[in-house]
Amino acid sequence: MSVPAGDAERPATVEGTRPLELRDLSDIGAYVADDRGRIVEVNARAQLLLGRSAAELLGRDAHDLLHRGRHGEPLPRTLCAMRQPFVSGHTAQGEREWLERGDGSLLPASWMVTPCRLGPGRTGALVLFRESGSPGPAEPQPTRLSSPLSEFDRLALLAETTTRLTASLDVGETLRQLVRLVVPLLADWVVVDLLTEKGGVNRAAVVHHEGGVLTHRMDLEGPMPPLPQESPMPLSRALRGVAAALVGPKDYQGPPDSGIAVAQRKLFEATGIHSASIAPIRGVREVVGALTLGRSERPGAFTAADLLLAEDIARRAGLALDNARLYERQRRVAETMQRHLLPQLPQVPGLEMSARYLPAPHASQVGGDWYDAFVLSDGATGLVIGDVVGHDLEAASGMAQVCNMLRAYAGELEEPPSKVVDRLDQAVARMAEATMATVVFARLEPVDGGWRLCWTNAGHPPPLLVRRDGSARLLEEGMGLLLGTALAPVREDAAVDVPPGSTLLLYTDGLIESRRHPLDEGLARLRSYAASLADRPLSSLCDLLLAGVRPEDNDDDVALLAVRVPE
C-alpha cells in the first residue's frame, strides 16, 4: 500500500496519542540549534542544568555561549567535539564535554548530537545532554575527526590568523593576508566571495598556488549573479550565513537553480577542484561573504575537521573584514562631508582661481584640510587655507565650524587679517570639543593698477609666490602660533606686492611632508617644481603639483588653492 507524500513525513503514532516534543523530555536536557548554530528551542531540564532561562538561551550561538574547555576557557570550534557532528551531518555522542552554566561554573556533560529537520529546506541539530559523573578508567571518548594538522598547529594557525587579519583596516590588504594564510597550507585554491553594500555578490579573489607561486585567476573574478534567497546549494547557503559545508563537483552537476550555481559549476570545471569546503564569512552585524578552499593537485578530500578549521578562519576573517568595511564607510562619510563643505570659488574680475582637494591615499585617513575664497565687504578677496588637527570625523566636523566662523568674522568688519584670526583663535578656545588648527588668512586687493597681498599665518606652512619669470619666494613673514592653544599670542600682518603674471599657492602640509625627509626638503621641492611650471595654465599647474610634489609616503589629505594675477 502506498503512503501519501504528506503522511510520509509525519511521525507515526498510535491513535489517541500525540508526537513527543522537547517539553516531554523530563530527565535529560535538550535543545535544538538551527543551521547557523543558534538555539531555537530548549526544554525545561536544559534550563535547569545550565542555570539559564529560555530568554538567555534562545537566539544565541550554542557554541559561543556554552562550549568550554575543561578549565573554562573558550573552546576553538576546530577542537569542539560537539560541533563536528553538526557540520558533518552525522549522529555522534560523547561522555565528557564542558558546558558553561549561567553562574560561570562548568557542567560536565554526556551528550548526543543528531541532525534534524526544522521545516521546508531548513536543517538543524538536536542536542541531548545530561550531567556526567567522574570518568572511569575505561570511559569511551568521542571520536575526533582526523586532520593533517596537529592540535598545536591548528591553534597556532588560528592565532596567526587573528594577528595578521586585524593588522590592517584595508579590505584589499585583509584579503591578501587571508589568501597567504590558507594556501598552500590548507588548500591549492582559495576563493573569496563578498556581499556588496547593495546586496550583490562579487567574487573578490580566485587564487591558485602552483609551483610556489600564488596566481590570481582574474577571468574567474568579478561580479556574480544575484543571490537566491531560497536556494539549497552550498555557496548560496553560505552567503546567506547558513552552515559551512563540504562540497565537490558532483554537488553542481544537476540542473542549476540559479546563476550562482552556474558560476560554481564553471569554477569547478576551470580549476579542477575535486574537493572543497565552503564556510560563511560572518561579521558582527551581518554576513560578509563566503570562503571556499579547494583541492585540485593534492589527493584526499576535505574532512569535517578541516571544515571546522575553515569555519573558524572564516569567522576571524569576517570580523576583520567587517571592521575594515566599517572604517571605510566612516571614511567615505567624512570625505563626502568634507568635499561638500568645501566652497565654490568666486568669480573675481582680474583674478584666476583654481583649487584641489585630494583625500589621503590607500583609504587610510580623513583630515580637516580646507581651502576657502570669498569677496569681502570692501571689495577685497579673502583667501584661506587651513588644517584642523586630527584624522577622523571630529576633524572634518571641526573644520566646518572653524571655516564658517572665519568667514563670519572676516565679513563682519573690515579688519586686518591678524585681528580676524585673533578673534577666531578666541572662539576656537571656547568650542565644546577641544580643537587645534593651523590657518593662513589673506586679503588680496587691487592697489594702484596692481595687486597687494596682506596676510597672517597661524602655524601653517608658508604660502608660495611664483612670479612670471620663474622666480619663487616662500612668504614666511607674519608667522604666529596655531589656533586653540589658549595662549593669546600677539599676531602680526605681513604684506607683499603681487606682480602681473604671478601665481600665489596656498597648500596644506600633506603636499610637502614626508616621514623620510625633513620639512625643508619638501618646501624646497615645492618651490623648485612650482617655479618650473610658472607658465602653465592654472588648472594644469595644480594637477602637476599634486602629481609631482606630494611624497609617496605621505598619508595625509591635501588642500591646494592657487590664485593668479593675469598680465
Which CATH number goes with the domain that contains 396? 3.60.40.10
Question: What pLDDT does 9 receive?
Answer: 55
Within-domain flag for 11: no
Percent of the chain at pLDDT above 90? 45
Q: Where do the H-state alpha helices sit in 170-222?
A: 171-182
Question: What pLDDT does 369 receive?
Answer: 85
Where a domain ends, among 283, 302, 332? Answer: 332
Question: What pLDDT does 518 receive?
Answer: 86
Max mean pLDDT among 33-42, 67-76, 387-396 falls in: 33-42
Mean pLDDT for 540-561 is 88
Max mean pLDDT among 175-184, 343-352, 495-504 falls in: 495-504
Q: Phi and psi dihedrals of 559, rounded to 5?
A: -115, 140
Within-domain flag for 6: no
Within-domain flag for 527: yes
With 70 as the cut, is the pLDDT of residue 142 above it? no
Question: Got the DSSP string for 359-419?
Answer: PPGGG----EEEEEEEE-TTS-EEEEEEEES-SSHHHHHHHHHHHHHHHHHHHHS---HHH
DSSP 3-state assignment of 241?
Answer: coil
Closest CA to 500 of 532, 465, 476: 465
Within-domain flag for 377: yes
Is 324 in the same domain as 412? no
With 80 as the cut, is the pLDDT of residue 491 above it? yes
Mean pLDDT for 165-175 is 85
Question: What pLDDT does 132 receive?
Answer: 84
Within-domain flag for 14: no
Cell of 161: 590568523
Question: What pLDDT does 330 receive?
Answer: 73
Mean pLDDT for 270-280 is 94
Cell of 234: 552550498
Higher per-residue pLDDT: 226 or 118: 226
Mean pLDDT for 239-246 is 88
Question: What pLDDT does 167 receive?
Answer: 81
Question: What pLDDT does 296 receive?
Answer: 92
Percent of the chain at pLDDT above 70? 89
Q: How confident is the model at residue 375 (pLDDT cuts 50, 70, 90)?
A: very high
- Per-residue pLDDT tens over the stretch 304-322: 888 888 989 999 999 989 8
Indicate the range of 396-405, 471-480, 553-562 predicted with least confidence. Answer: 396-405
Q: Which domain does 510 fall in, by range? A: 342-564
Closest CA to 317 of 429, 168, 505: 168
Number of domains in the chain: 3
Where a domain ends, among 332, 364, 399? Answer: 332
Question: What pLDDT does 50 receive?
Answer: 93
Higher per-residue pLDDT: 134 or 108: 108
With 60 as the cut, is the pLDDT of residue 143 above it? no
With 90 as the cut, is the pLDDT of residue 286 above it? no
Q: How confident is the model at residue 138 (pLDDT cuts 50, 70, 90)?
A: very low
- 395 close to 434: Cβ distance less than 8 angstroms: no
- Per-residue pLDDT tens over the stretch 458-473: 999 999 999 999 899 9
Question: What pLDDT does 136 receive?
Answer: 36
Name beta bridge partners: 498. 451
How many Cβ atoms sit within 10 Å of the Cβ of residue 223? 10
Q: How confident is the model at residue 401 (pLDDT cuts 50, 70, 90)?
A: confident
Is 101 in the same domain as 199? no
Which contacts qualify for 193-197: CB closer than 8 Å, 24 or more apart? Answer: 193/224, 193/235, 193/239, 193/289, 193/290, 193/292, 194/281, 194/288, 194/289, 194/321, 195/227, 195/239, 195/286, 195/287, 195/288, 195/289, 197/329
Question: What pLDDT does 431 receive?
Answer: 82
- Per-residue pLDDT tens over the stretch 499-535: 999 999 999 998 998 888 888 999 999 999 999 999 9
Q: Strands 92-100, 106-119: parallel, antiparallel or unpaired by DSSP?
A: antiparallel
Is 97 in the same domain as 197? no
Is 403 in the same domain as 530? yes
Higher per-residue pLDDT: 336 or 357: 357
- 37 close to 243: Cβ distance less than 8 angstroms: yes
Max mean pLDDT among 54-63, 325-334, 392-401, 455-464 falls in: 455-464
Where a domain ends, among 277, 304, 332? Answer: 332
With 90 as the cut, is the pLDDT of residue 295 above it? yes
DSSP state of 17: -
With 50 as the cut, is the pLDDT of residue 144 above it? no
Query: What CATH number is given to the structural domain containing 326?
Result: 3.30.450.40
Q: Mean pLDDT for the chain?
A: 85
Question: What pLDDT does 335 receive?
Answer: 67
Question: What pLDDT does 505 receive?
Answer: 97
Residues 6+ positions from 235 with CB-CB distance below 8 Å? 193, 260, 261, 264, 278, 290, 292
With 80 as the cut, is the pLDDT of residue 151 above it? no
Mean pLDDT for 384-390 is 86
Is 299 in the same domain as 423? no
With 60 as the cut, is the pLDDT of residue 366 above it? no
Is 53 in the same domain as 33? yes
Is 231 in the same domain as 259? yes
Within-domain flag for 67: yes
Query: What CATH number is given to the structural domain containing 44?
Result: 3.30.450.20
Return the beta strands (E) in 104-244 as ranges.
Answer: 106-119, 122-131, 189-195, 201-210, 213-216, 222-224
Residues 6+ positions from 265 with CB-CB distance below 8 Å? 249, 252, 253, 256
With 60 as the cut, is the pLDDT of residue 272 above it? yes
Within-domain flag for 5: no
Question: What pLDDT does 3 receive?
Answer: 45
Mean pLDDT for 425-435 is 82
Indicate the range of 343-357, 422-436, 512-526 predicted with least confidence. Answer: 422-436
Is 514 in the same domain as 436? yes
Question: What pLDDT does 337 receive?
Answer: 65
Is 87 in the same domain as 170? no
Indicate the range of 8-17, 183-192, 290-299, 532-541 predicted with least confidence. Answer: 8-17
Cell of 262: 552556474
Question: What pLDDT does 207 receive?
Answer: 94
Q: Phi and psi dihedrals of 156, rounded to 5?
A: -65, -40
Within-domain flag for 337: no
Higher per-residue pLDDT: 216 or 150: 216
Is 275 in the same domain as 350? no
Is 293 in the same domain as 156? yes
Is 382 in the same domain as 512? yes
Angle at CA of residue 422, ends 420 and 426, nearest 5°: 115
